[in-house]
Amino acid sequence: MTKIFLEDEPGLEISLRKNSNSRRISLRISALDGKITLTGPSYLSFEEFKNFAESKKSWLKSKRGSFQHPIFVSEGIKIPILGFETKVSFSNVQKPKKIGNVLYVSKRQSVSNQVKNYLLEICRFHLNYICAEFSKKLGSKFYKITLRDTRSRWGSCSNDANLMFSWRLVMAPEDILAYVAAHEVAHLKHMNHSKEFWETVEFIFGPYKKEKAWLKQNGPSLHRYKFES
Ligand SMILES: [Zn+2]
C-alpha cells in the first residue's frame, strides 16, 4: 500500500487506498491503534491526496495525540504488567524474572520475545485461576483457554465452551483482566449481551461499569507495545 508522509511530521504515516468506487476523499483514524488511512477515487493523483492530507495536518495531529506513539519492546523500556510499570533490564538470567518493578531478561536472546513469553505465561497463570473461580461460581464449565494477539476483541467464548483472550490484557490492571474473564465466562450461560447476561457478569464479578469503561478508554493503548513477530 502506498504511504504518504507529511512535511515536518514524519511520525504521521498515512496509508493511501485508491478505490475506483469512491467519489470523495476520506481520512480515517483507527480507534484501535491510531492507524491513518486516506481513501479516495483512483483517478486522483498522489499529489492531490498528499495536498488533502497536508490540509488536515493539524486535525490529524490533535486526533493522533490521543494515540500514544508505539513502543518497541527492548531493553530499558517500561511496560505495564498487571497495571504496574515494569522496567525491562538486562541481567544474567536463564529466563525472564521479575523482581519488584524490574523484569530481568537475558542479553543472549531476543528481548521482545522474552518479554512476550513472560507476559503469556503470567496471563495464562492468572486467567486459569480466575476463570476456574468464576466458572465454579456460575456452575458452568469451560474446556480450554486460548491466548491470542487479537485486534478487535479482548475475548470470546465459543459454542463449545472454549474461551479465548488477548494476552495483552495482562498489561492492564488485574481487575480489568478479571472483568474480561467474567464477561467470557458469563457467555457460557448466555450467548448474547442480554439483560440476563449482564446480571450474570455482575453476579460473578460484582459491579463492572468502571472496568468496562477503563477498557474502552485505555484498551487501545495496550496495542502500542510492539513485539517482534
Ligand atoms: Zn460479550
Q: What is the pTM of this model?
A: 0.73
CA distance linking residue 37 with residue 52, whole number of Å: 12
Rounded CA-CA distance 46/72 in Å is 30
Q: How far is the CA of 193 from the centre of ligand 1 (A)?
A: 6
Regions of the chain where pLDDT drops below 50 = none
| The pLDDT value given to residue 184 | 98
Q: What CATH architecture does domain 78-226 belong to? A: 2-Layer Sandwich (3.30)
Q: Which residues contact 165 (CB under 8 A, 6 or more apart)?
A: 123, 127, 145, 146, 147, 148, 154, 155, 180, 181, 184
Query: 122 CA distance to ligand 1 centroid (A)?
Result: 23
Return the residue matching grid coordinates 483517478: 43
For the chain, the domains span 2-65, 78-226
Cα 142 to ligand 1 centroid, rounded to whole Å? 15
Q: What is the pLDDT of residue 84?
A: 96
Q: How far is the CA of 167 from the centre of ligand 1 (A)?
A: 17
pLDDT of residue 65: 62
Q: Are the C-beta atoms of residues 74 and 60 closer than 8 Å to each other? A: no
